[in-house]
């Protein structure tokens, strides 16, 4: 299996756009644009509402501030008290994109939308999306380390002893692999289990499992963003 065939790895009937001799993942692009639009709409709705110095309980502003504080605390805990501020937007974007993507697949019955070929599904239900997010994570922690430490950042590969160099290098390859396949596998498995149960038993029987799927979808977004912050924090921390 060559690299091109590996990139084509997918499960289900995905929706493609045919442009010249190339096939583009229309499902991923359409659903990603949908998720981004939803996030932008909610963000603008919260920011353009009647803001108050002390928000009313259970208001949109109160919810938005809660989410913001949650992301700031996540960045502060994982990246470190001295370097977290510049990474709050990145970690917030990663968390919100994965969270809304996962819930869009769990809450919206995309399969009832008939297409000429293929079907729609959550962006994180496609290995290409999760690999792209994992590669962004890898780029971010390399950038963080090089920005703070310069060329001396690569000294971590021979820490604590030089003969660990191959293992430390291999670790940088396994991080994006584990991130991408963990997210992809969990979201795909959840959707497949619900689809099978709906086809085998009455409609209301799978509802508890669907609620559990919403919980696990949120946990996957938290795990991915937490590990991303931890990798960045590991890159910028000072070794003595």
pTM of the model: 0.83
Look at residue 187 and tell me if it is in a domain: yes
**pLDDT one-digit tens code per residue, 89-144:** 999 999 999 999 998 887 776 666 766 666 777 888 888 899 999 999 999 999 99
Burial (Cβ within 10 Å: 0-12, 13-18, ≥19) of residue 152? exposed
d(CA 87, CA 95): 12
The first and second tokens of residue 16, run together, are 């493609």
d(CA 60, CA 47): 9
How high is the pLDDT of residue 37?
Answer: 93
Provide the pLDDT confidence category of residue 195 given band limits of 50, 70 and 90: low
**pLDDT one-digit tens code per residue, 59-79:** 777 778 888 899 999 999 999
Bridge partners, 86 (sequence order): none
d(CA 5, CA 2): 5
Mean pLDDT (the chain) is: 81
Domain span at residue 46 reads 22-236
Look at residue 143 and tell me if it is in a domain: yes
Look at residue 8 and tell me if it is in a domain: no
The first and second tokens of residue 70, run together, are 């949650």
Look at residue 148 and tell me if it is in a domain: yes
Look at residue 10 and tell me if it is in a domain: no
Query: In the chain, how many domains are there?
Result: 1
Look at residue 204 and tell me if it is in a domain: yes
Look at residue 9 and tell me if it is in a domain: no
Torsion of CA 111, 113, 114, 120, to 10 degrees: -60
Look at residue 17 and tell me if it is in a domain: no
Torsion of CA 135, 140, 141, 144, to 10 degrees: 160
Provide the pLDDT confidence category of residue 13 given band limits of 50, 70 and 90: low
């Amino acid at each position: 299996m060559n690299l091109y065939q590996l990139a084509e790895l997918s499960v289900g009937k995905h929706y493609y756009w045919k442009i010249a001799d190339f096939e583009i993942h229309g499902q991923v692009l359409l659903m990603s644009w949908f998720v981004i639009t939803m996030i932008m709409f909610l963000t603008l709705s919260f920011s353009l509402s009647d803001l108050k110095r002390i928000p009313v309980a259970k208001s949109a502003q109160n919810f938005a501030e809660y989410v913001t504080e949650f992301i700031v605390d996540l960045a502060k805990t994982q990246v470190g008290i001295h370097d977290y501020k510049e990474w709050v937007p990145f970690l917030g974007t990663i968390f919100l994109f994965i969270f809304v993507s996962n819930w869009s697949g769990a809450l919206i019955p995309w399969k009832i939308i008939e297409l000429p070929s293929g079907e729609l599904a959550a962006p994180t239900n496609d290995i290409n999306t999760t690999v792209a997010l994992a590669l962004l994570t890898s780029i971010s922690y390399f950038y963080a380390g090089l920005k703070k430490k310069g060329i001396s950042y690569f000294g971590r590969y021979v820490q604590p002893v030089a003969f660990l160099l191959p293992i430390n290098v291999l670790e940088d390859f396994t991080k994006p692999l584990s991130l991408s396949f963990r997210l992809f596998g969990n979201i795909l498995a959840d959707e497949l289990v619900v689809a099978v149960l709906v086809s085998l038993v009455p409609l209301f029987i799978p509802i508890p499992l669907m609620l559990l799927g919403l919980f696990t979808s949120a946990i996957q977004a938290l795990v991915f963003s937490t590990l991303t912050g931890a990798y960045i924090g590991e890159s910028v921390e000072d070794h003595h």
